[in-house]
């Protein structure tokens, strides 16, 4: 033992005491250092054990640097043992109590509000990073239709396959899809919604994506299901879709989050250009809970920005409403789906954990760790209201009046479409 070892131990013990006080002294956490020394953060038996592989990781704890702790977790230098829900709960509490100072949080918050310039090449690279992992990886834990967005639960007891089928039908009913309708799906993913709409509602559809793996999967899927004559899949940016008044209906599910706030006016203008007068547009997407800025929550949001969704930007729903209206779309309905996302994310996380070995073999251990923690963390973000998710339904007006639409929302739930309001007044009615 070196002459300075007792002093180092004493210093380390003081730092542990400081961490205990900053964390509240009541957490069921055991901290195990690289030399095997263990410390408990509370009097109750530990539900979560955190193992630190080096003094560098310990320093990140002391400084509350949640971004570096996230990196350490991905590298395997920080191991978290315990049930996922306990690990997540402890992690969120630690982030809130020992995270960087309020001044630093505020600076990060202001920086996050500044719209970033977006180029097509950068957008394509960001989409490829997240979605071109491996189709087989996503197939391990998504539902049978490969839907990667919030499901819709009727009772809360449905499995993920049933809940996603509920959501697909709900979207199709909202759009009032009819045989022969032309449907554009911006950000079509693996083609699940388009194939569902073609099989069950008889539409002819075009789907665009920037993910090559999704593109190949969706094309092969349409052919395998005998829908190639009804569905065209394109590897294409939404800004490059040609024409005006081309489609009866337009849908976008989980896509506008990738557009970038600075590009939202162009995004909604593209929808207006491509939609026929009287046509319907449904935008299903995530928004932030804070009307004045980005999502509110503990520090560490940079983990998702860096390792999960590079380039992703989320507006508040009010900003999306404003920009859709400026683009010439008439918003007629908004449905909050926030209660449905935590159970969706929990279902995904549990399915991923159940097939951990296959996921690691398919996409690597780092990717498994990222997705495991990201999905569980997002469930908490939606549960606490830091993030929201909803569906905005809009119409492109028909000169000289409003686009036809049902009198009530009943058609969205019972499937019975009431006679539509024509929207055109005769002079004799005035």
> What class is the 120-408 domain?
alpha beta
Q: Is the pLDDT of residue 133 over 80?
A: no
The whole-angstrom distance between residue 426's C-alpha and the CA centroid of its chain comes to 46
Quick: pLDDT tens for 135-186.
Answer: 999 999 999 999 999 999 998 889 999 999 999 999 999 999 999 999 999 9
Which class would CATH give 5-99?
alpha beta
What ranges do the domains of the chain cover?
5-99, 120-408
Give the pLDDT confidence of 211-236 residue by residue, as tens digits: 999 999 999 999 999 999 999 999 99
Mean pLDDT throughout 334-351?
94
Residue 208 is predicted with a pLDDT of 98
Mean pLDDT of the chain: 84
Q: Is the pLDDT of residue 304 over 80?
A: no
Q: Do domains 5-99 and 120-408 have the same CATH topology?
A: no
Helix extents (H) in 254-364: 264-274, 302-307, 317-326, 341-354, 356-363
> Exposure string (b/e) for 30-64, b if CB count within 10 Å is 16 or more?
bbbbeeeeebbbbeeebbbbbbbbeeebbebbeeb
Q: Tokens 């094309």 sit at which residue?
A: 219
CA distances (Å), 238 to each of 118, 187, 250, 419, in order?
13, 8, 12, 34
Calpha distance 299→92 (Å, rounded) = 9
Please choose, from the candidates 135, 143, 274, 260, the residue with its C-alpha nearest in 3D space to the C-alpha of residue 196.
Answer: 143
Residue of 409 and 335 predicted with greater confidence: 335
Nearest residue to 48 via CA among 77, 87, 85, 84: 87
User: Which residues make Cβ contacts (< 8 Å) with residue 266, sequence separation at least 6?
Assistant: 239
**pLDDT at 309 (0 to 100):** 64
Look at 339 and 106; give whichever has higher pLDDT. Answer: 339
Residue 425 predicted with pLDDT over 50:
no
C-alpha separations of 329 from 62, 146, 241, 254 in Å: 51, 30, 19, 19
Looking from the CA of 145 toward its CB, the CA atoms found within 13 Å total: 23
Give per-residue burial for 350-374: e unless 16+ CB within 10 Å, then b: ebbeebeebbeebbeeebbbbbbbb
Provide the pairing of β-strand 231-235 with 78-81. Answer: unpaired
pLDDT for 162? 97
Range 251-261 average pLDDT: 92
Q: Residue 177, Cβ neighbours under 10 Å: how many?
A: 23
Q: What pLDDT, on the 0 to 100 scale, is given for residue 253? A: 97
pLDDT for 355 equals: 96
Secondary structure letter of residue 109 according to DSSP: H
Mean pLDDT is highest, among 123-137, 248-262, 365-379, for 248-262
The whole-number pLDDT of residue 408 equals 85
Nearest CA among 367, 268, 377, 390 for reference residue 325: 268
Q: Is 400 exposed, middle or buried (0-12, 13-18, 19+ CB in 10 A)?
A: exposed
pLDDT band per the 50, 70, 90 thresholds, residue 294 = low
| The token pair that represents 133 in the structure block | 């992992």
- Between 377 and 394, the more confident residue is 394
């Amino acid at each position: 033992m070196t002459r300075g070892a007792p002093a180092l131990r004493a210093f380390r013990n003081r730092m542990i005491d400081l961490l205990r006080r900053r964390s509240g002294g009541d957490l069921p956490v055991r901290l195990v250092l690289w030399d095997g020394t263990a410390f408990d953060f509370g009097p109750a038996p530990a539900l979560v054990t955190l193992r630190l592989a080096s003094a560098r990781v310990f320093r990140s704890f002391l400084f509350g640097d949640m971004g570096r702790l996230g990196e350490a977790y991905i590298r395997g230098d920080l191991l978290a043992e315990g049930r996922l829900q306990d690990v997540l709960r402890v992690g969120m509490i630690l982030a809130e109590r020992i995270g960087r100072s309020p001044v630093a949080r505020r600076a990060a918050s202001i920086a996050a509000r500044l719209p970033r310039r977006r180029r097509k090449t950068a957008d394509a690279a960001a989409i490829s990073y997240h979605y071109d992992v491996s189709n087989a990886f996503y197939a391990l834990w998504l539902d049978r239709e490969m839907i990667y967005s919030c499901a819709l639960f009727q009772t809360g007891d449905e499995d993920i396959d049933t809940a996603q089928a509920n959501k697909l039908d709900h979207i199709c009913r909202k759009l009032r899809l009819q045989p022969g309708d032309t449907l554009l799906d911006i950000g079509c993913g693996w083609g699940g919604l388009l194939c569902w709409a073609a099989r069950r509602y008889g539409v002819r559809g075009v789907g665009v994506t920037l993910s090559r793996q999704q593109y190949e999967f969706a094309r092969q899927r349409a052919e395998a299901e005998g829908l190639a004559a009804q569905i065209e899949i394109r590897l294409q940016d939404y800004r490059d879709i040609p024409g005006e008044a081309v489609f009866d209906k337009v849908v976008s599910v989980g896509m506008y989050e990738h557009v970038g706030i600075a590009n939202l006016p162009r995004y909604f203008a593209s929808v207006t250009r491509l939609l026929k007068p009287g046509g319907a547009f449904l935008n299903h997407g995530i928004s932030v809970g804070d009307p004045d800025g980005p999502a509110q929550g503990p520090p560490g949001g940079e983990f998702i920005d860096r390792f999960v969704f590079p380039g992703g930007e989320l507006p508040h729903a009010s900003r999306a409403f404003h920009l859709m209206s400026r683009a010439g779309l008439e918003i007629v309905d908004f449905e909050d789906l926030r209660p449905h996302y935590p159970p969706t994310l929990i279902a995904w996380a549990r399915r991923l954990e159940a097939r951990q070995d296959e996921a690691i073999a398919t996409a690597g251990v780092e990717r498994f760790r990222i997705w495991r923690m990201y999905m569980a963390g997002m469930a908490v973000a939606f549960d606490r209201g830091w993030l929201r998710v909803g569906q905005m339904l809009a119409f492109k007006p028909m000169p000289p009046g409003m686009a036809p639409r049902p009198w009530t929302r009943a058609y969205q739930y019972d499937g019975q479409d009431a006679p539509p309001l024509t929207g055109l007044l005769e002079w004799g009615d005035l």
